[in-house]
Chain A
Amino acid sequence: MIELIIGKYNFWISITLMMIGFYAMIAKGNLIKKIIGMNIFQTAVFLFYTSIATVKDGTAPILWQKANLYANPLPHVLILTAIVVSVSVTAVALALIIRIYKAYGTIEEEQILEMANEIPNPKPVVSEAEPSQIPNTASQL
């Protein structure tokens, strides 16, 4: 049991981090906090990738005469791409939050849902926005 925990500690750390992030994404009402949770969530996966790339006694994958064992560079490369993706997702999310803030005047999810249910819209802040007549009933994560 101990062996399972200690021997695979990298798994456990990334899983724990994932769960923290996942919790924040689901349970937090504040939109920014959700994004923070999302970043933790993604980073956990990135860490997982980098950790599986490690080779015992291997050095960083740089061509170096003294080394004969290198860590696997491919996951690093992959994760570099994934990080770029993650950054762009975060950027889009933040941009959306700014728009949401302009439109609703708040970034608390509950308040936004209340406002979305109001008919008609008191003050459409977005340029010539049409008040939505549709009660926003679907469950929101």
Chain B
Amino acid sequence: MAVTFVSFLISFALLNRVLNTGRISYWLGGWQPPWGIEYVLDYLNVFILLIVSFIAFIVSLYARRSVEKEIAEHKITTFYSVYMLFIAGLMGMTLTGDLFNLYVFIEISSLAAYTLIAVGRKRDALMASYNYLILGTIAATFILLGIGYLYMVTGTLNMADLRERLPALYESNVVLTAFAFFTVGLSLKLALFPLHTWLPNAYTHAPSVVSAIMAATSTKVGAYVLLRIMFTVFKVEFYLEVVPVTKILLVLSSVAIIAGSVLAITQTNIKRMLAYSSVGQIGYIVLGAALINQTAMTGSLIHILNHAIMKGALFLVVGAVVYKTDIEDISGLRGMGKKMPYSMAAFTIAALSMIGVPLTVGFVSKWYIAMGALNAGMWYFIPVILLSSLLTAVYFWRIIESIYFKDGETEPRTAENSEIHNPKSTIRNRDDAPLSMLIPTLILAGLCIFFGIFAFLPVSIAEKAAGLLLGGL
């Protein structure tokens, strides 16, 4: 009872927060008065904030049943508290306009994340969490060092202030070093290939709810912070005139896109496959950003939203499967289309969206990134994008096929027991996830299509945000 109550309270608190952000987003572009440490709200972070709070809300709706199954009972209250802390940290990262404050929020959310990963019943999760902790700390310390360097030469920690003061110092070695530390630290945080090694283990062994929320939000906020540092603290001219960091990022992200997809194909565990697929998708986000033009940046931001929705939906479905059957292996999904039709429909939609089939969100972001690549005169990234779409199609189609076309351990199907002649056989086997899990999943899957068709809604915000980042370029 206590647990349900806590979970209800949390959902309510989150709902409230969602409503709040909805209200704040009315004064898009307005600045909140600074209270010492400044919190800034502009097009960009309102966009990210909406994503984070929305996904957090959806997942918390979903969490109750799944958590009951995957986490020991006496830890559930702790779980929700830490969950809140995690979300709070992410939102803090999104909102803050102060570098040191950013560091503190990064650590808050990371600490919460380590705990969340380890809270499950699987012992492998402990090692995954430990490794994440080590790498996460290295990353955070790098960021801290970067902040230190910047403070040393400018004497300020405020992002807007830094933006004004830095251009004069772009040639300075200290600034370059600081930037290098930031890039490496944040790449670790957002799991940009080849600094992604913590991610697959963490996602695989964490409880499903945690995988879902982390995949959907934490790497996204990491990407947001990278964009902030790259384009708000530093200016676009920095990359065009001083260091060609974006070139390196372009190569890295292309490798990430391909390598993530290839590795995903070789996996047998669904969660691990989705995790590697995340590595590839993060590549898209960085690719879009590193192309430095309006269209590609819009694509990148849209992809932050889209990937959050798609991956969220996929992990929620996997969570539902684990809840019902304890199956985490791809081969275990055989014939699941009959058993859990609604969950699997959601999975199929999200998977098609990952592939980038038109009318789903995946297509919209790919379209923008590809157009951005063409506008930047770098057509050779289009084969990268398309190839990874194909690879994505390979690993998802494998699953979709086994969901719908292969029977489970039931007797081989013959004409006699097909659904026409024996309608009861399907009803008897039907055993979908409980509604509290199903509804959030279906909402996310529905959004995959909704935003795919009415793409102008998120795109209009993302375009403004992209314009903001690029300083009206």
Contact = CB atoms under 8 A, between A and B. Distances in A.
Interface of A: 22, 25, 31, 34, 38, 41-42, 45, 48-49, 52, 74-75, 78, 81-82, 85, 88-89, 92-93, 96-97, 99-100, 103-104, 112-113, 116, 121, 124-130, 132-134, 136, 138-141
Contacts of B243: none
Given A116-B124, A129-B121, 16 more contacts: A38-B138, A45-B141, A75-B151, A82-B144, A88-B107, A88-B111, A93-B134, A100-B123, A100-B127, A112-B127, A121-B123, A134-B204, A134-B205, A136-B124, A138-B201, A141-B197
B201 to A, nearest CB: 5
A48 B131 CA distance: 26
Interface string B11-29: 0000000000000000000
A103 B126 CA distance: 9
Interface of B: 72, 100, 103-104, 107, 111, 114-115, 118, 121-124, 126-127, 129-131, 133-135, 137-138, 140-141, 144-145, 148, 151-152, 197, 200-201, 204-205, 269, 272, 326, 328-329
A89 B130 contact: no
A141 B123 contact: no
Nearest to A101: B126
A134 B111 contact: no
A45 B134 contact: no
Contacts of B152: 52
14 contacts: A38-B137, A49-B148, A93-B134, A96-B114, A96-B130, A112-B127, A113-B127, A116-B127, A121-B123, A128-B72, A130-B121, A134-B272, A138-B197, A138-B200
A128 to B, nearest CB: 6
Contacts of A31: 130
Nearest to B275: A138
B145 A45 contact: yes
Given A85-B107, A96-B126, A133 B329 contact: yes
B134 A38 contact: yes
Dominant secondary structure at the A interface: helix
Contacts of A99: 118, 126
Given A85-B104, A96-B118, A22 B138 contact: yes
Contacts of A97: 130
A94 to B, nearest CB: 10
A107 B361 CA distance: 45
Nearest to A25: B134
A132 B126 contact: no
A78 B72 CA distance: 38
A85 B72 CA distance: 28
A96 B124 contact: no
Contacts of A136: 124, 127, 201
Contacts of B200: 138
A114 B118 CA distance: 19
A17 B106 CA distance: 24
A121 B205 CA distance: 15
Contacts of A88: 107, 111
